[in-house]
Amino acid sequence: MKFNKHIWKTKSKEIISCDEKLKILDENLIEIENIFQSAMDDAILMGCDENDFKSKVIKLIKNSKFSFSK
């Protein structure tokens, strides 16, 4: 039995159980985590304040929208 790192839910709060979907969702989150860490490290090495960088990323996330037409 395989255990996933995260529990993913639908808009209606149902747990997603499809192994392939879970694999893709977990892989995407790991990729985002790695890109974020690299970008934050670069920003801090270039003199940016860590909290200022994080607040900009949070704003970016809050302003993101679903990009496919419905």
3-class DSSP assignment, residue 28? helix
Closest C-alpha among 16, 57, 28 to residue 40 = 57
The pTM for the full model equals 0.82
3-class DSSP assignment, residue 13? coil
Instruction: Tell me the per-residue pLDDT of 27-46, one tens digit each, with 9 for 90 and over.
Output: 999 999 999 999 999 999 99
User: Which two structure tokens, joined as six digits, stand for 22?
Assistant: 């879970």
- Asked if 4 and 26 count as a contact pair (C-beta separation under 8 A), the reply is yes
Mean of the per-residue pLDDT values of the chain: 93
Residue whose token pair is 């709060």: 13
